[in-house]
Amino acid sequence: MSAGASGRRLFGLLAEFRSPEELLQACRQIRDAGYRSWDAHTPFPVHGLEAAMGIRHTVLPWLVLCGGLAGALGGLLLQWWTNALDYPLIVSGKPLWSLPANIPVAFEMTILLSAVTAFFGMFALNRLPRFSHPAFRSARFRRATTDGFFVTIEADDPRFDVEGTEQLLRSLGASAVEWLEDEED
Amino acid sequence: MAEAVLDERALDNTSDDPRRRAPLVLGANDLVTITDKVCRVPEAPRMPRAWYVALCVSAAFTAVLAAMIGYLVFTGVGVWGLNRPVGWAFDITNFVFWVGIGHAGTLISAILFLFRQSWRTAINRSAEAMTIFAVVCAGLFPAIHVGRIWVIYWVFPYPNQMAVWPNFRSPLLWDVFAVGTYLVVSVLFWYMGMVPDLATLRDRATTRARHLVYGVLAMGWRGSARHWHRYEKAYLLLAALATPLVLSVHSVVSFDFAVSMLPGWHTTIFPPYFVAGAIFSGFGMVLTLLVPARELFGLKDVITLRHLDNMCKIVVATGSIVGYAYAVEFFVAWYGQNEYELFTFLNRALGPYGWCYWTMVSCNVVLPQLFWSGKLRRTPWVVFGLSLVVNVGMWFERFVIIVSSLHRDYLPSSWGFYKPTWVEILTLMGSFGLFFTLFLLFLRFLPMVAMAEVKAVMPRPAAEEPEHEVAARALAGRGGSGEPT
């Protein structure tokens, strides 16, 4: 509770809830109160939290589709260019370019590029890796990966006001509310 | 004494009472105790004595593997017993065997996920680890069998001074792409699933070193709901991609044989037959690893009897599919009226390698039928014993397919006989050493149960349970969410 004392800027408020059900209830209220820069933190994905927080669908599947198409096209082009064009290779008198023999490699390339896009796309959209975050300064927050259910509301939210927001969190049944200091010294 | 009886009852979740869903996690466990239970293993200052013994033995075999590969590379492929007409034997048998082992891990992590089989959460992490280590062992064999191992990179299509490209019509090159993709996707899927659990280990770390190492591996995961949303989407996509992938990998491996003209290999049922065999052998290996692991690390309430029971059912199902494939092969050999093919199959069962064939049939088709008995499926030592039998049988299956087809083909004048040399036998044993070493190290340093996923499917405390479930439990008369009553 010493945002002013250490001279650091306030990052936001951290509130803990006792159960996923209480967290869901609180998130609906915070969403309806019109906050935008806020988040919930849970040890496992809680069902219904996306709707309760009003999270929009991620663009990730479309990225993966593009990755898959690039893989399929790349796999076919690779085989066509290498075996039919750059170094024409006649095997068993078959045509230089015949699709059936090229399906397995094109298929594997499709899967490979889609999976790589899904993995790296997910972390990129989540802005991870990020090794430092104001919430990590809180000892209480360590339980977010074990059994703690948290909400953070950031100070740069237009609706944020230290007393009002803290009041709101407490009225929603938070078992504890903490101030989080910003990272920059 | 009375306590022990209660304990056994509390750990039995195998009853199929339709009025209630069997709990996936037993005992008086909550989010904290589950975390403690799983993290305790990588956080313990020392491991159980059995772990050290196992590590010493498997590390010794890994050293043997390294020595055998060194001997092979410095002397040449002549140290193996390969010669005309048997140009493939232990090397490719081991390759197909190990790739197949991997398939159970992907089936558990991807296919069972798509089918919403929540019980997979307790075993998917270790099964996926098994997949990766099995694929590592598998990849070794094609690499070392090429003779001039130092130019193995020629299999990749890269621009080179020789101005030639690999032949993309060859199933051997398809294998490079299939197994390579399989390894990459398995590692990505496994690692992504582990990130939230690595964050748990980071947040529980008591030393600076652990905090740093697990912190870097966890990539700053902080359980944000906005992150979970994309994470779950990525997980679903990876599962949906890994499902056709895993079916394609062993299909492509079977093309190595099916696309050739050799009787005994040139068979259209190979892809589904190989995939079923792969899943069968993989579940055998999962059971071989998990039956001792759950005893050793006190995870009997997480990896429950019901998990063993379910896996044994898959073993008996896939084992029977494999048995059906054996029968169909014989039927087609007779029905097709191709004298070479008919000879190959008769020779397989009655020729000089007949004892291998009958070992395969007894281990893969006959003995797994014991799993029709529910009592045996729930007796861990029986399960462990039969899982070893499955491993042996599936290794022999690949040996039989490869060697018995090669050694007597169209021309009797070019028939031959193959015997492995001591180098090949030690290389096979060494690959088991490598596999078990990697798995033991995984148990030591990484969370062997997907904690975040188990937490999401845990029974809730009674207060939050819908009333009809509580009532059903009272009727059933057994400890519902597991409290010994």
Q: Mapped to the 3 state alphabet, what secondary structure does B206-236 carry?
A: CCHHHHHHHHHHHCCCCCEHHHHHHHHHHHH
CB atoms within 10 A of CB B104: 30
Vertex B89: Cα angle to B83 and B92 (nearest 5): 125
Residue B460 has pLDDT above 80, yes or no: no
B222 touching A (Cβ < 8 Å): yes
Residue A6 has pLDDT above 50, yes or no: yes
3-state secondary structure of B30: coil
Task: Look at phi and psi of residue B409 and say left if phi exceeds 0, alpha if psi is from -120 to 50, else beta.
Answer: beta
Question: What are the tokens at A21?
Answer: 């059900």
- Among candidates A60, A101, A108 on the partner chain, residue whose Cβ is nearest the Cβ of B169: A101
Residue A1 has pLDDT above 50, yes or no: no
Q: Kindly give, in sequence order, each residue whose CB lies less than 8 Å from that of residue B105, ignoring residues fewer than 6 positions away.
A: B124, B127, B128, B129, B130, B131, B132, B134, B186, B282, B286
| Residue B35 CB-half CA count within 13 A | 25
CB atoms within 10 A of CB B387: 24
Tell me what pLDDT residue A162 has: 85
Residue B448 has pLDDT above 70, yes or no: yes
Q: What is the pLDDT of residues B23-54, one digit of tens each?
A: 778 777 888 989 999 999 999 999 999 999 99
A21 touching B (Cβ < 8 Å): yes
Q: What's the rounded mean pLDDT across residues B452-457?
A: 90
**Cβ–Cβ of A109/B177 closer than 8 Å?**
yes
3-state secondary structure of B12: coil
Tell me what pLDDT residue B28 has: 74
Give the C-alpha separation, B96 to B435, whole Å: 15
Tell me what pLDDT residue B7 has: 57
Cα B325 to Cα B27, B182, B273, distances in angstroms: 42, 25, 6
**Cβ–Cβ of B185/A42 closer than 8 Å?**
no
Q: What's the rounded mean pLDDT across residues B384-394?
A: 96
CB atoms within 10 A of CB B277: 28
Residue B463 has pLDDT above 80, yes or no: no
Q: What's the rounded mean pLDDT across residues A149-168?
A: 91
E-assigned strands of chain A?
10-17, 38-41, 149-154, 176-181
Q: Which residue has the higher pLDDT, B434 or A90?
A: B434
Question: What are the tokens at A157?
Answer: 């939210």
Q: Give the A window 121-140 contacts with B, CB below 8 Å.
A: 121-123, 125-126, 128-133, 135-136
With a pLDDT cut of 70, the percent of chain B lying above it is 92
The H-or-E segment that residue A111 falls in is: helix A99-125
Q: What is the pLDDT of residues A61-106, one digit of tens each?
A: 999 999 999 999 999 999 999 999 998 888 888 888 888 899 999 9
**Cβ–Cβ of B192/A119 closer than 8 Å?**
yes
Can you tell me the ipTM of this complex? 0.93
Categorize the per-residue pLDDT at A184 as very low, low, confident or very high, splitting at 50, 70 and 90: low
CB atoms within 10 A of CB A61: 16
Vertex A149: Cα angle to A144 and A151 (nearest 5): 100
Give the C-alpha separation, B320 to B4, whole Å: 37
Mean pLDDT of chain B: 89
Q: What's the rounded mean pLDDT across residues B88-107?
A: 93
Tell me what pLDDT residue A7 has: 63
Residue B243's nearest CA partner among B110, B422, B47 is B110
pTM for this entry: 0.91
Main-chain phi, psi angles of B224, to 5 degrees: -65, 140
Contact by Cβ (8 Å): B48, B320? no
Give the C-alpha separation, B103 to B222, whole Å: 32
Residue A4 has pLDDT above 60, yes or no: no
Q: What's the rounded mean pLDDT across residues B356-379?
A: 95
Q: Which residue has the higher pLDDT, A47 or B18?
A: A47
- Among candidates A60, A115, A136 on the partner chain, residue whose Cβ is nearest the Cβ of B188: A115
Chain B hits for A126, CB-CB cut-off 8 Å, are 224, 226-227, 230-231
Contact by Cβ (8 Å): B94, B435? no
Residue B467 has pLDDT above 50, yes or no: no
Q: Which residue has the higher pLDDT, B430 or A89?
A: B430
With a pLDDT cut of 70, the percent of chain A lying above it is 95
Residue B301 has pLDDT above 60, yes or no: yes
Cα A67 to Cα A58, A120, A163, B89, B290, distances in angstroms: 16, 11, 47, 39, 36
Q: What is the pLDDT of residues B55-93, one digit of tens each?
A: 999 999 999 999 999 999 999 999 999 998 999 999 999
Residue B323 has pLDDT above 90, yes or no: yes
Q: Give the B window 238-267 contacts with A, CB below 8 Å.
A: 238, 241-242, 244-245, 248, 252, 255
Q: Kindly give, in sequence order, each residue whose CB lies less than 8 Å from that of residue B36, ignoring residues fewer than 6 positions away.
A: none
3-state secondary structure of A15: strand
Q: Which residue has the higher pLDDT, A7 or B410?
A: B410
